C-alpha cells in the first residue's frame, strides 16, 4: 500500500512545480490538477478497503507519538479523504479544458492539501497549520475574480477567518499548557477524567475558530457573499470541499477531546440557529447562487445539529445521519453549483430559459438536498426525523419539519420555473456534462439502493466510535 | 497574582482585546487589518509566555550541563515561529485584497462597500 504521507508531499511538490509545468506546456497544470486528486482518491480507497479495524499511525521524523508529528489514519478519516478528493477530481475533470492561469491551479492544489492534511493529521498544532493553508488559499480563491462582489466577500471572509484561526491557535496552546502534549489522542487520554474550567475555555476558543470554516451561525456572514461572488467552480469548492474538511475536524476534536454535554449543547443551539436562520434567508433571496449558498449554510447547520443530538442522547444513528447528510450535501451541492455554469450569469430564481439538460441536473441536485424520496438525501433526513420521534423531542421534530417545508418550497419554486420556461440550446462543456451525469446517477442510484454508501459509512463510524482503541493505539504506542 | 504574571499574561491579553476592539469599531479596512495584526502579536506573546519557566535560560544546546539544566519550554517558541509566518501570509494577502478593493471602489471604507448586503 502507498504511504498516505505521499498525499501531502506530492500535493505540495506539484504546487511548487506548477510554474515550471506552465512553462513546458500551457495545458500541463490543468492535467496535473486532475492527476493528483485522482491519485489521492486511489490511495484513500485502497487503504479503506485493505485496512484493518485498527488505526494506522504514520510517524514523521522518526519519533513515536506522542512525540513529534504523526498522521493518524483510520476508516473515518479515510472516508472523508475519499469524499474530499472525489470532489477534487470532479472539479478538476469538469474544468479540464478551461483556460486558466497556472496560479489558479497552485491555489487549488494548496486548498486540497489543506483539506487532506486536516483529515490525515493526528497532531493539534499541525491541524492548525493545515487549517491555515486551507483558509489562506481559499481567501485567495474567493478573491480571484476581479469583480466587486467577489472582492467584498473575500475581504469579509479574510477578516472573520483570521480572527477565528487566532482563537483556534489560542485554544490549542491552552490545551498544551494543561496537558503538556499536542497529540490529539494523547490529549484525549489525559483529559478523559479531569476537565477543569480552563479546558472548557480552550474548547470554546477552538470550536469558535472552527465555526468560521464550517459556516456556522454567528460567524457565517461571509459565506453567502463568497458563494454569490466567486466563480462557480470555487463555489463548488467552498460548499463541498473546504467546509467538509473543517467539519471533519470539528467532529473529531469534539468527539475525542471535548466529549462533554456542555459542548454538545452549544453545538445543538448553534446548529439549530444556523439551520433556521439560513433557510429562512434562502427563502428571501432573489439571486439563485446566493440562495444556494444559504441552503449550503443551512445543511451544515443541520449536520452539526444531528451530531450534537448524538452527543446528547448517544444514539449512533444520529452520527450516521450527520455524516450521511454531509456526503449527500457535498455531492448534491457540487452538482448544483457546477450546473450553474450552464445557466446565464447572475441567474435569478425566476430563471426561465435554460436547456433541458441543466434543468434536469438542477432538479436532481435540488431534490436530493431537500431529501425527496428516491434520492440519497431522503435517507439522511428520514433518519434525523426518526431519532427525534423516538426520543420524544417533539418540539424539535415539528420545527425541523417546518424548515424542511420551507426548503422544499424555495427549491420547487425554482424547479417549476425551470421546467415551465422556454428551452434554449446552449453548447455544453462535454466534460462538465459527463461529471454532472456521474454525480446525479450516483445520487439517484444510492437513493434507490443505498447499501454501498451505508456499508462504507458504517465502517467509518465504527472506527470513530471506538474511541478507546484509537486512543490506546496512538497515544499508548510507546 | 504577582506582578510578573500580571505582565506576562496581562500585556498579551490587553493586546488581543485592543485588536478585537479596533476590528469592531473602525470603518477603515486597512486599520482593520492592523487590528488583526495587533491581535495576532498578542496571541503570539501569550503563547511564548505560557511556556516560560521562572529563572530558566533559552533552550539552546550547551556543553555545560549546569546551563542546560534549566531551560524554558522550547515547543511554544518553535511553534510560534510557524504562527508568525502564517500571520504574515494572511496580512500580505489581506493587503493585496485591500489594494484591489481600493482600485475597484475608490474607497476602503466598509460602509461604502454595499454591493452585497443582506
Which of B79, B84, B111, B114 to mutate to probe the A interface, most A CBs <10 Å? B79
B35: CB partners within 8 A, 6+ apart: B18, B19, B20, B21, B22, B23, B26
- In a domain, residue A411? The reply is yes
Chain A residues in contact with B83 (beta carbon < 8 A): 128, 169
- In a domain, residue A175? The reply is yes
Whose CA is closest to A324, among A278, A384, A246, A389?
A384
Helix (H) or strand (E) holding A244: helix A243-256
- In a domain, residue A179? The reply is yes
Bridging pattern class, strands A69-73 and A56-60: antiparallel
pLDDT band of residue A476 (cuts 50, 70, 90) is low
Report pTM. 0.92
Residue A341: give the domain boundaries: 5-472
Total number of domains in chain B = 1
Q: Give the model confidence (pLDDT) of A122-169 as tens digits.
A: 888 889 999 999 999 999 988 888 777 788 888 888 988 988 998 999
Q: Looking at A432-441, A457-466, B7-16, B52-61, which range is the least confident one?
A: B52-61
A172: closest chain B residue by CA: B47
Total number of domains in chain A = 1
**Grid cell locating A257:** 477531546
pLDDT at residue A89 in the model:
92
- In a domain, residue A449? The reply is yes
Q: Per residue in A150-164, is it b (16+ CB within 10 Å) or e — as a string?
A: bbbbbbbbbbbbbbb
Whose CA is closest to A333, among A218, A220, A242, A456?
A242
Q: Which residue has the cell 500580571?
A: B6
B112: closest chain A residue by CA: A152
Residue B21: give the domain boundaries: 3-116
Residue A25 neighbours by CB distance under 10 Å: 10
**Distance in Å, alpha carbon of A248 to nearest chain B alpha carbon:** 22
Q: Give the model confidence (pLDDT) of A270-297 as tens digits.
A: 999 999 999 998 888 888 888 899 999 9
Question: Between A and B, how many residue pairs show a Cβ–Cβ distance under 8 A?
Answer: 88
- In a domain, residue A478? The reply is no
B97 close to A (CB below 8 A): yes
Q: Do A173 and B89 count as a contact with CB atoms less than 8 A apart?
A: no
CATH number of the domain at B49, please.
Answer: 1.10.287.3510
pLDDT at residue A392 in the model:
82
**Mean pLDDT of the A418-436 span:** 80
Helix (H) or strand (E) holding A56: strand A56-60
Contacts 24+ apart (CB under 8 A), A27-35: A29/A100, A29/A102, A29/A105, A30/A92, A30/A95, A30/A96, A30/A97, A30/A98, A30/A100, A30/A105, A31/A96, A32/A105, A32/A109, A33/A92, A33/A105, A33/A108, A33/A109, A34/A89, A34/A92, A34/A93, A34/A96
Residue A387 CA to residue A311 CA, distance in Å, equals 13
Q: Do A162 and B40 count as a contact with CB atoms less than 8 A apart?
A: yes
Q: Do B46 and A125 count as a contact with CB atoms less than 8 A apart?
A: no
Q: Establish whether the linkage from the previous residue to A66 is cis, with ω within 30° of 0.
A: yes
* Alpha carbons within 13 A on the beta-carbon side of B64: 4
pLDDT at residue B65 in the model:
64
The residue that leads in pLDDT, A40 or A259, is A40
Q: Which residue has the cell 492592523?
A: B34
**Distance in Å, alpha carbon of B63 to nearest chain A alpha carbon:** 24
pLDDT band of residue A8 (cuts 50, 70, 90) is confident
* Alpha carbons within 13 A on the beta-carbon side of A32: 29
- In a domain, residue A477? The reply is no
Q: Do B115 and A177 count as a contact with CB atoms less than 8 A apart?
A: no
Amino acid at each position: 500500500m502507498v504511504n498516505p504521507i505521499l498525499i501531502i508531499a506530492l500535493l505540495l511538490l506539484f504546487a511548487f512545480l506548477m510554474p515550471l509545468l506552465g512553462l513546458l506546456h500551457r495545458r500541463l497544470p490543468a492535467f496535473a490538477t486532475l492527476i493528483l486528486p485522482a491519485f489521492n482518491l486511489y490511495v484513500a480507497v485502497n487503504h479503506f478497503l485493505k485496512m484493518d479495524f485498527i488505526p494506522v499511525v504514520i510517524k514523521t521524523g522518526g519519533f513515536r507519538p506522542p512525540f513529534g508529528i504523526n498522521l493518524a489514519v483510520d476508516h473515518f478519516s479515510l472516508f472523508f479523504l475519499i469524499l474530499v478528493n472525489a470532489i477534487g477530481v470532479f472539479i478538476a475533470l469538469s474544468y479540464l479544458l478551461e483556460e486558466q492561469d497556472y496560479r489558479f491551479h497552485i491555489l487549488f492544489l494548496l486548498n486540497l492539501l489543506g483539506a487532506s492534511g486536516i483529515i490525515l493529521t493526528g497532531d493539534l498544532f499541525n491541524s492548525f497549520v493545515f487549517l491555515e493553508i486551507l483558509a489562506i488559499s481559499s481567501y485567495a480563491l474567493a478573491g480571484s475574480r476581479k469583480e466587486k462582489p467577489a472582492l467584498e466577500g473575500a475581504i469579509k471572509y479574510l477578516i472573520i477567518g483570521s480572527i477565528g484561526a487566532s482563537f483556534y491557535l489560542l485554544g490549542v496552546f491552552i490545551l498544551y499548557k494543561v496537558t503538556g502534549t499536542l497529540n490529539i489522542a494523547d490529549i484525549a487520554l489525559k483529559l478523559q477524567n479531569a476537565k477543569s474550567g480552563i479546558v472548557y475555555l480552550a474548547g470554546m476558543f477552538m470550536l469558535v475558530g472552527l465555526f468560521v470554516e464550517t459556516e456556522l451561525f454567528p460567524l457565517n456572514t461571509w459565506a453567502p457573499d463568497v458563494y454569490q461572488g466567486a466563480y462557480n467552480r470555487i463555489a463548488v469548492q467552498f460548499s463541498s470541499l473546504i467546509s467538509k474538511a473543517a467539519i471533519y475536524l470539528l467532529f473529531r476534536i469534539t468527539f475525542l477531546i471535548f466529549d462533554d454535554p456542555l459542548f454538545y449543547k452549544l453545538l445543538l443551539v448553534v446548529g439549530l440557529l444556523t439551520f433556521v436562520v439560513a433557510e429562512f434567508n434562502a427563502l428571501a433571496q432573489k439571486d439563485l447562487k446566493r440562495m444556494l449558498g444559504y441552503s449550503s449554510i443551512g445543511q451544515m447547520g443541520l449536520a452539526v445539529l444531528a451530531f450534537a443530538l448524538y452527543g446528547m442522547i448517544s444514539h449512533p444513528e444520529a452520527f450516521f445521519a450527520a455524516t450521511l447528510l454531509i456526503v449527500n450535501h457535498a455531492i448534491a451541492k457540487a452538482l448544483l453549483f457546477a450546473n450553474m455554469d450552464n445557466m446565464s450569469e447572475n441567474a435569478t430564481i425566476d430563471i426561465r430559459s435554460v436547456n433541458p439538460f441543466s434543468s434536469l441536473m438542477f432538479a436532481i441536485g435540488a431534490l436530493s438536498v431537500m431529501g425527496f424520496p428516491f434520492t440519497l438525501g431522503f435517507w439522511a433526513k428520514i433518519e434525523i426525523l426518526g431519532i427525534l420521534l423516538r426520543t420524544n423531542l417533539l418540539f424539535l421534530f415539528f420545527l425541523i419539519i417546518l424548515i424542511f417545508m420551507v426548503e422544499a418550497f424555495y427549491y420547487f419554486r425554482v424547479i417549476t420555473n425551470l421546467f415551465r420556461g422556454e428551452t434554449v440550446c446552449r453548447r455544453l462543456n462535454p466534460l462538465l456534462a459527463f461529471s454532472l451525469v456521474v454525480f446525479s446517477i450516483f445520487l439517484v442510484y444510492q437513493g434507490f439502493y443505498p447499501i454501498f454508501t451505508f456499508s462504507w459509512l458504517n465502517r467509518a463510524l465504527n472506527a470513530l466510535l471506538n474511541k478507546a482503541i484509537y486512543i490506546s493505539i496512538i497515544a499508548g504506542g510507546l | 497574582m504577582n506582578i510578573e504574571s500580571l505582565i506576562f499574561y496581562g500585556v498579551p491579553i490587553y493586546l488581543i482585546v485592543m485588536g478585537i476592539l479596533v476590528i469592531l469599531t473602525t470603518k477603515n479596512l486597512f486599520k482593520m487589518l492592523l487590528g488583526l495584526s495587533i491581535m495576532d502579536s498578542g496571541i503570539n506573546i501569550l503563547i511564548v509566555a505560557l511556556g516560560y519557566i521562572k529563572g530558566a535560560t533559552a533552550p539552546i544546546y550547551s556543553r555545560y550541563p549546569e546551563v542546560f539544566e534549566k531551560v524554558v519550554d522550547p515547543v511554544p517558541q518553535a511553534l510560534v515561529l510557524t504562527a508568525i509566518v502564517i500571520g504574515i501570509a494572511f496580512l500580505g494577502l489581506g493587503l493585496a485584497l485591500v489594494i484591489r478593493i481600493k482600485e475597484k471602489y475608490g474607497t476602503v471604507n466598509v460602509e461604502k462597500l454595499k454591493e452585497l448586503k443582506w
